[in-house]
Amino acid sequence: MGGAAPVDLELTPEERAFRDEVREWLAEHLAGEFAEHLGIGAPGSDEGWDIRLRWDKELSGGGWLGLTWPRELGGRGLTPREEAIFVIEHSRARAPYIATEQGLTLLGPTLLAFGTEEQKRRFIPPILAIEELWGQGFSEPGAGSDLASVSTRAERDGDGWVINGQKIWTSLGDQAQWLYVLCRTAPDPALRHRGLTMFIIDARQPGIEIRPIRNMVGRSEFCEVFFTGARTTDNLMLGELNGGWRVAMGALSFERGLTLLGHQISYEREIQAAIELARERGKVSDPVVRSRLADAWAAIQVMRFMNLRSLSSLFRSADPGSITSVTKVFASRHHQRLTELHAELAGPWLDIVGADYALRPVQSSFLTSRSETIYGGTAEIQHNIIAERVLGLPK
């Protein structure tokens, strides 16, 4: 009866060999400017953009992107376990945070799930080669949490489509060659999410204007995108006509898969930095500080166990399941608490920034963590999802 571990962590000899291969490659290639910028970047951030983009290309050259994607499209055809091993090693080695996250973790898996063969052959290889970057057009000024109320219209015109409207919060939109945009195709707004279609749209055309928005960290990481008679073609419809909601929900669920694992590993480094700071400032023996640090430390350990559970169900059913929504709520809440504690430990120096609003890690984490309960579905929307889809509470 006994024997089976509740956490299926034991690597097979082949997996151990794979891990060693990853480690060796990372050790060899995290050199030069990459070694000088260990741990640079964060989700949705343009910090160290050029270096990170070069790192993505380095990974691409080594064949470390699209690990679970089909070989015929340039992927490696490996297992989710092997991908998880790579993510863990990549984070542990403090490699730069992936720059082309939009293509690699959002649009890519969405294309593989919903795209036509032609679309996959056209778009997957340049994503893996870091030749084409992607931006997401979901939210609008009038459609944030209520995503089903998007009003950007796509209207048929000959064998193509004409798009008019406005999108917002498009991460790194000014870098994108292509956008994937949720549009209203059925004129009756009462149809809500049943009247939406996902389109792939060339971002570099006269009908599209992209304006950066400065966020509270002081960086221009997301944009607003204006569509004025922009055009796309029928074969660039992603999924079915009026079936865009399913595609959008699919894309959002990919965002919560392995990404949390990488975050947890960077939080582990942050708690160590906070402990170190408390020590330097002579506060570590203050019982209140000690207790709060212990709580923060314990929460990050719990994140680790939650991620292991997600992985364990991912490995068995290829679906991380609803545990990821739960983990996201837990992780974002406790990460905010950690950054608040870390900020407090910095004392009055927290308030002093560098020239051009240059921030130290403690400052940028403190500010960035506010976005973690907003992007990819606010904490409140996550609570609704958990309550309605997991617990079955009525709408």
Residue 395 makes contact with other proteins by CB under 8 A: yes
* Cβ closest to other proteins, residue 31 vs residue 390: 390
Q: How far is the CB of 366 from other proteins (least distance, A)?
A: 20
Question: From CA 135, how far away is CA 96, in angstroms rounded?
Answer: 20
Give yes or no for residue 384 binding other proteins (CB under 8 A).
yes
Q: Which stretch binds other proteins (CB under 8 A): 38-46, 205-213, 256-264, 319-327?
A: 319-327
User: Residue 220 in 3-state DSSP?
Assistant: coil
Q: Are 64 and 395 in contact (CB under 8 A)?
A: no
Interface with other proteins, residue 49, by CB under 8 A: no
First to last CA, the chain: 42
Residues 73-92 that bind other proteins (CB under 8 A): none
Give the span between the Cα atoms of 201 and 230, in whole angstroms: 8
* 293 binds other proteins, rule: CB under 8 A: yes
In whole angstroms, the minimum distance from the beta carbon of 165 to other proteins comes to 29
Total site size for other proteins, rule CB under 8 A? 48
Residue 12: CB atoms within 10 A of its CB come to: 9
Decide: is 387 part of the binding site for other proteins (CB under 8 A).
yes
Give the residue with the Cβ less far from other proteins, 214 or 389.
389
Query: 389 to each of 201, 309, 393, 395, how far by Cα in Å?
Result: 32, 19, 8, 10
Which of 119, 322, 336, 378 touches other proteins by CB under 8 A?
A: 322
**Minimum separation from the CB atom of position 271 to other proteins (A):** 8
Which residue's structure tokens are 């796309």? 232
Closer by beta carbon to other proteins, 78 or else 329: 329
Residue written as token pair 């660039």: 236
Catalytic residue among 89, 255, 270, 372: 255
Long-range contacts of 56-64 (CB under 8 A, 24+ apart): 56/98, 56/99, 56/100, 56/104, 56/130, 57/130, 58/29, 58/34, 59/98, 60/128, 60/129, 60/130, 62/25, 62/29, 64/22, 64/25, 64/90
- AA letter at 375: Y
Contact between 8 and other proteins (CB under 8 A)?
A: yes
**Residue placing its CB nearer to other proteins in the complex, 57 or 290:** 290
Task: For residue 218, report the phi and psi dihedrals to the nearest 5 degrees.
Answer: 95, 10
Q: Is 255 annotated in the active site?
A: yes
Q: Which is nearer to other proteins, 3 or 348 (CB)?
A: 3
- Does position 336 interact with other proteins (CB under 8 A)? The reply is no
Kindly list the residues in this chain that would bind other proteins in the complex (CB under 8 A). 1-8, 275, 278, 284-285, 290-291, 293-295, 297-298, 301-302, 305-306, 308-309, 312-313, 316, 321-323, 326-327, 329-330, 380, 382-384, 386-388, 390-395
Enzyme catalytic residues: 255
